[in-house]
Structure formats: structure tokens, C-alpha cells
Structure 1
């Protein structure tokens, strides 16, 4: 009897040790990360690429709304920079870039990823919006990645940079912040323009580089890291157009953020908006900003296109895919497409 009782105790003890790591791994690791108050570290793993010249029909025919649904899925966990959710989002985007046949333009030229590190952050709600406060100590930094891919034009040393940040706020008090408008909407428009250009199959005069920045929500850390350690010469960039929170508000009503209205990027996006029947007006940032500021500070003509009503439900759990207006999203894509045509294909 004693031997049987001892055997049962041993079996229960082993079960208590092994079950959490076999049946409930996500719950347990989530609890651990919550206890230590640090986001789970993203593992930067190699991503599969198709043979050169091969373009996936499935990727080519995806829609912008499908991208938004994918990027706001529960497994993306709000895409906080440095988290498992960010890693899943970056893998999704790198797969799209690879299967669309883009040239990797990240670190060392053979990858889409541009690796940098981010500081530890704390979260708090200010005026109804969740925000990050970063601790810029050099210790305890976490890896994160930007993603860059190119469509090489006839003039390889003349680059038009098209971008959007793909990170968001993650999870706060056990609530996921999906970030559909901020900024899965901008990312989806960049992907939509890539696909549209590839379906047309016409080579551009200038080289197009498509970039997805991370850690924008922590103070433009990803785009600043690229400026500090670029993967191609910054002097090749003739204009930078950035999209951020473009999918809500009155249809056709957009805002522009730029350090100056007298630059090529600003003038082109304003012209493109007028050509597709939309309004895009220079708007004060009101203490906010986006990744165009990193490039403007480096002397590169840069602009961000946004919905004028971008602050509505911004940085709240209500920023879901259902909040996106497909007509506004389509107009944002049309504006970006027309701007690319003007800048890279020398169309008027």
C-alpha cells in the first residue's frame, strides 16, 4: 500500500512539472512575462524565400482588407515591438515580400530584416489613449526588426522609399490592442500598391524600396535605427512617403504631416490626392508625429499621409478591423499608387 501511495505521489509530482509545458505553454509563458513585466523576446529566424523570379499568385491576389484581418488576428497579440506578436507579424510581412518576388534589402543584402534593439518600456493611459514611456538605458535592450524589400528600377541609385510602421501597442491589462487603423491600414496600402505594380509588370525608371518599420510607437525607434545604420546609401533616397492610420474618417479627407510643404514628397502626394479626387491638406501634428520625421531630420524630403480623423479610437481596444472603411482604404492606396507613378515612372 505504501509503495502504491508513493508511486501515485511521484506520478502527480511529475504531472505537475510537465503538464504546464505540454498542455498550457502559452498560458504559463504569458504569466511569466507578466510577472517580470517585460515583453516576450521575438526570435529572429530565417524566413523562406521563393526562387528568384517566382511570384505567388496567392500573394499577388490578396486584398488590403485580408492583410488587416491577418495583422489584427488574436495570435498577433497587438504587435508590440520586441514581442512574439511582432515576430509573427514580421514573418507574415516577410513572407508576402518574398512570395511577391521583392529583392531583400535588409542587413547584408540577403535578408528582408534590418535588426535593431529597443529599450524597456512602461505603459500608461493618457487622455484615453494607451502610450509607451521608454527607458533609454543601454542595458536590457530587446531585439526588433524593420523589413525592407525592393523593386529595382532602371536607375538603381535613385530610390523612392514607401513605408508604414507595422508595430502597435500589444496587450495592456489583459486586453489586446489590435491596431487595425494604426497601422495595419497603412501597411495594407503599401502591400496593395506593391501588388498592383507587379500585376502591371512594367519596370519603373527609379528603384522602389518598400519598408515596414517597427517600434514607431516607442518613439520612431525603428526608422531612427535605419537612419543610423542604413542598408543602402541614404543619399540615394529622393523622396520618402509614409502611410499611417489611413482607414477611417470622412471618405476622401486626408491630412499630411511634413516638416515643410516645399519638398518633393509633400508636393507629389498632394498632387496625387487631387488626381484621384481626394483632399490632402497640411495639418499641424499637435504634438504627435510619425516615421517621416526621422527622414526629414536627415535632410530627406518626407511626408506622412493620414486620415484627418485619425485620432478617433486611436490607441484603444476599439481600433479593430470593423473600424476600417474600405472606401477610405482604397482611396489611400490610390493616392499612394498615383504618387509612385509620378515619382518612379516619371508620369505627370
Structure 2
């Protein structure tokens, strides 16, 4: 997650410009059709009661298997705008398809959508800040690079409202010959929310509100993916009941978690209630750091980020590897998030 407030302010102007796409496949190109909001009432007719079969292998995957895929050397640290990030996005699309989730990204034509919500990012320059590799803005006149959010959902039975489960899936890439695998930051968050959705489907829960998985791109470059979505959403922002964001969740003492939010909103309240008697989940000052809940909060959408209390340990270093993660903590975070989600969708 980025550190500097100046970087955050600079990235406020990032848009989804129509530029050439060099590394991403054809499906990642910006659609020619003008994006319009999704009418979830129409989607509801064909998806609300069509949960996937419980014996699909996609439901038997685990968060640690997701993490293992995301840290594989072939993904080269998942830096935004690279082939490694593209491979990570392809994995997420495959998981969403396998779970039977409705694509909620950009329009492909006047009637159909894909799972991708594309945008572009400014160039960045690497630098070390307090021992952590971070990005600062580069030359804004240089060619932007493509990135994408990956968005899909389980459509509710009788509601236009949605609850979002989100996590950023990018990381830092390779710098000075060192791979930054980003197991905890933030493959752990990706695995956590996939596990929540798998459990929801396994238990045959038919939600009232839509349950949407949103994997944000380019978080490390200034929360660019989530900001881009808010600027050009694919479904109405005022229909978002809550956002549960998960970032860097898998390290430190088992029952110690931190929460980031700018107010005591319903998303934060739901997580705290779900954690009661299971763990300590405390609203914590961000101290100049932040995650993808930030722009939702600024837009008055109830949102919270759940994270490990000691998230800074080994963060943005080559030592952020799977062995650093406690699988029991991922499971506990998933259980807390699942219970928080259930309190808002049934």
C-alpha cells in the first residue's frame, strides 16, 4: 500500500484514457461502447437462483492455494501494467467464471459485459522510504500503461443494493534484480475474499443484496484502480450498501487486527460485531498510510479495510513470502468477514 499523501493527491487526476494496449490481450481493450450502469434487476432474473454446483473444484480451492499462485515467479511480482498483473487478472477471471459469478465490468457490446474494468496509470519511479520500496509519480508526459480491475458478483434476490468484498491484487514487481512477491500484500487479501465467496456458495446462501467481488488494480501506484472505478462506476455508487476491503491480513498475532475507516460507518460496525469474542479488531489511525477504502469513504460510501495489526512487518520487501503468512489467521479473517457480510445480505 502506498505511503505518501503527495502521491495520493497526484493520482487524483488519473483517468481511463484511450491509449494503445501493448501487454494486455484483446479482451482488455477499452470497449468502443459508452459504458452504462448495470441494471441488476435484469441480471437477477437469470442469476439469482442459479448457484453453481457444490462439487465444482473451484469451491474446493483454498486461500493458501490462491496465494501460492500469486507469488509464483512467472507473475514477477504483479506490478501494474505488466504481463504478471495480466496473468493474475486472468486467474481471477477464471475463478469468477468457475464460481458462476456474473461479469460486472465494462461493456463488450450493448448487452454484454466482461469481468474487466480498465483504466491507465501514469509512469512511476521507484524509491525506498523507511526501508520499504515505494512508488512516486514519474513524468506525466510519458505514455500511460494499462491496468484493470476485475469485478464479478452474485446477484441478490430482490434488491438493487450491493455489498462489495474487495482487495487489490497488484504488487511491486521486480526491482534491482529482486522479486517482491507480495504474499501478504496483498495475495492474502485476495485469497481471503475468494474464500468468503466460496463459503457463501457452498452454504447455498441466496443473498438479498448483491455480493460483488472487486479486485482492484494499481493500488500500489496510488489506489488508482478503486479511484478510477468511483469516477466511472459500472453500477450505481448510491446502491453500494457497504464495502469490506481486505489488505495485508496474514501476519502477526493470530487474533490482532486493525481497521481503517474515516468514520464509525455500517461496514466498520459490521466487522467489529463479527469479530467480537473471536478477535481484537480495532479502529486504528492510518498514520499517513491507506488502502482502497479511502476514496469510497471520501465519496460517503460506508467502507472499511480489515488488516493485520502488524501489517508493516516485512511489508514491501522481498521477504514478504508465503512462509510469512499464518494460514490460521487467514481463516479467522475470512470467518469474521463472512459473518459481517451475512449480517448485511440476509
C-alpha displacement of 1:155: 3.0
CA 1:110–1:249: 2 relative to 1, 3 Å:
same
SS at match of 2:80: coil
Match of 2:297 in 1: 296
CA 1:41–1:249: 2 relative to 1, 3 Å:
farther
Residue 154 (structure 1) aligned with residue 153 (structure 2): no
C-alpha displacement of 1:139: 4.5
CA distance in 2, matches of 1:45, 1:62: 28
- Residues 246-261 of structure 1 aligned to structure 2 (within 5 Å): 246-261=249-264
CA distance in 2, matches of 1:271, 1:167: 30
CA distance in 1, matches of 2:148, 2:159: 24
Match of 1:181 in 2: 184
C-alpha displacement of 1:53: 6.2
Which digits, 9 at most, give the CA deviation of each residue in 1:154-196, with x for residues without a partner?
2341111110000000000011100000000000001001110
CA distance in 2, matches of 1:327, 1:138: 46
2:269 to 267, 270, 278: 267
CA distance in 2, matches of 1:226, 1:245: 22
Specify which structure has the higher proportion of helix. Answer: 1
CA distance in 1, matches of 2:246, 2:26: 27
C-alpha displacement of 1:287: 0.6
CA distance in 2, matches of 1:215, 1:255: 23
1:44 to 2, 5, 25: 25
C-alpha displacement of 1:42: 3.1
Which one is further off, 56-65 or 187-196? 56-65
C-alpha displacement of 1:45: 3.9
TM-score by length of 2: 0.84
Match of 2:308 in 1: 307
SS at match of 2:276: helix
Higher relative contact order (CA 8 A, sep 6+): 2
- Residues 274-293 of structure 1 aligned to structure 2 (within 5 Å): 274=276, 277-293=278-294
C-alpha displacement of 1:135: 3.0
C-alpha displacement of 1:54: 5.3
SS at match of 1:157: coil
Residue 329 (structure 1) aligned with residue 315 (structure 2): no
CA distance in 1, matches of 2:284, 2:22: 37
SS at match of 2:160: strand
Cα RMSD, aligned residues only: 1.7
Residue 132 (structure 1) aligned with residue 135 (structure 2): yes
Contact 1:147 1:211 in 2 (8 A): yes
Contact 1:121 1:133 in 2 (8 A): yes
C-alpha displacement of 1:84: 0.6
- Give every structure 1 segment of 4 or more consecutive aligned residues whose post-TM-superposition deviation is greater than 3 Å: 44-47, 51-56
CA 1:53–1:304: 2 relative to 1, 3 Å:
closer
Q: Which runs of 5+ in 1 are unaligned?
A: 1-39
Match of 1:85 in 2: 84
C-alpha displacement of 1:126: 1.4
Contact 1:156 1:206 in 2 (8 A): yes
Match of 1:95 in 2: 94
SS at match of 1:98: helix
Which digits, 9 at most, give the CA deviation of each residue in 1:232-274, with x for residues without a partner?
010100111100000000001000000012x101111111111
Residue 191 (structure 1) aligned with residue 198 (structure 2): no
2:145 to 142, 166, 171: 142
C-alpha displacement of 1:125: 1.3
CA distance in 1, matches of 2:22, 2:88: 14
Which digits, 9 at most, give the CA deviation of each residue in 1:66-122, with x for residues without a partner?
000001001110000100100000001110011110000000252000000011111
Which one is further off, 127-136 or 163-172? 127-136
SS at match of 1:227: helix
CA distance in 2, matches of 1:287, 1:53: 42
Which digits, 9 at most, give the CA deviation of each residue in 1:302-336, with x for residues without a partner?
10000000000000000001100011111110111
1:117 to 117, 120, 126: 120
CA distance in 1, matches of 2:177, 2:228: 30
SS at match of 2:166: strand
CA distance in 1, matches of 2:51, 2:306: 32
C-alpha displacement of 1:127: 1.2
